[in-house]
Amino acid sequence: MTTSTPAVPITAAHAIPEAKTKRVKRRLTSRTATVAALIIAVVWTLPTFGLFISSFRPEEEIKSNGWWTIFQNPGFTLDNYNEVLFSSSGSAPQLGQYFVNSLAITIPATIFPLVLATMAAYAFAWMKFKGAGALFVLIFALQVVPLQMALIPLLQLFSAFLLPAQRALHDTFDIIPETSYAPLWIAHTIFALPLAIFLLHNFISEIPGELIEAARVDGASHGQIFFRIIIPLALPAIASVAIFQFLWVWNDLLVALIFSGGTADVAPLTQRLAELTGSRGQEWQRLTAAAFVSLVIPLIVFFGLQRYFVRGLLAGSTKG
């Protein structure tokens, strides 16, 4: 005699994950979780707040007592900002040129890997060719290689091929400078491509295949599909990767020190900030103001692309 197992109703099957979701949401929105989040936010923000207060304090006060004494002995000044922004002395020159250098480095070093990574991600996701899987795994595995291991070989490669060609162009055409941002652009593009391709591939591959097939039936080429379908739909992911890449290049010091050649003509803002403290670190009070000066552009970029960034983080989290 056989007994049949009663089928579980579909509504009951759906109720199980819904109940689990509500339970997790309840825990994350509880009073304890809120208090813990507030404590983490305060601990994370407190050093930045102290640095901000110190940037408006006189030099002798910064070097003699802590920033929290501002409540007992209030005194604010703009001398630190005047020194790092408008001083023309050799020890603390104006930061305007270095701002321009950082923008000239960061903007192309963000656009180049984004363009290449988006095209590569589309190719890996929707173009079938031999060895695509192995090549994608190889690109993903490049993230394991530490950046520091590639600096010296890449510098030797630039010294052997790129820099001689650049000097030859400078000798032939006087309008071309002897030093340029090209080594920095290439280095940042190379280091950013593996992660950018991986992140964008994961997003682009989730685009419904019906859209791609419908476009192919209508006679659309890969270029038309890429520009008219992939780019608009993948814009949140592209903006998210752009924010990360922009902030990484803007705050970079290691690559800038190696590939800028130590010349002020192409040195970014971070390289100049490292030099503001003086030969023995005795002028470190300048960093309190210079650090917040360097935050202006990243904050503008982040808040300008914030809505795309949030959409990119939430993309794929829910279906249906």
Calculate what percentage of the chain has a pLDDT beyond 90. Answer: 19
At residue 133, the pLDDT reads 87
The pLDDT tens digits of the residues spanning 198-213 come to 999 988 998 888 988 9
What pLDDT is stored for residue 109 in this prediction? 94
How much is the pLDDT for 118? Answer: 95
**Domains present along the chain, CATH in parentheses:** 17-86 (no CATH), 96-314 (1.10.3720.10)
* Nearest Cα to Cα of residue 158 among 264, 45, 33, 259: 259
Look at 217 and 82; give whichever has higher pLDDT: 217
With bands split at pLDDT 50, 70 and 90, how would you rate the model's confidence at 317?
very low
Q: What pLDDT, in 10s, does the model give residues 145-201?
A: 888 888 888 888 887 777 677 666 655 666 555 567 888 999 999 999 999 999 999
Q: Give the dihedral of Cα atoms 194, 197, 199, 204; nearest 10 deg.
A: -170
How far CA 56 is from CA of 25, 51, 67, 248, 287, in Å, comes to: 43, 9, 10, 27, 12
Question: Of 19, 21, 34, nearest to 317 (Cα)?
Answer: 21
Q: Tell me what pLDDT residue 193 has.
A: 93
Mean pLDDT, the chain, integer:
80
Stretch 8-35: mean pLDDT: 63
State the pLDDT at residue 246. Answer: 92
pTM above 0.85, yes or no: no
pLDDT category, 82, cuts 50, 70, 90? confident
Q: Output 190 or 61, whichever has higher pLDDT.
A: 190
Average pLDDT over residues 264-270: 81
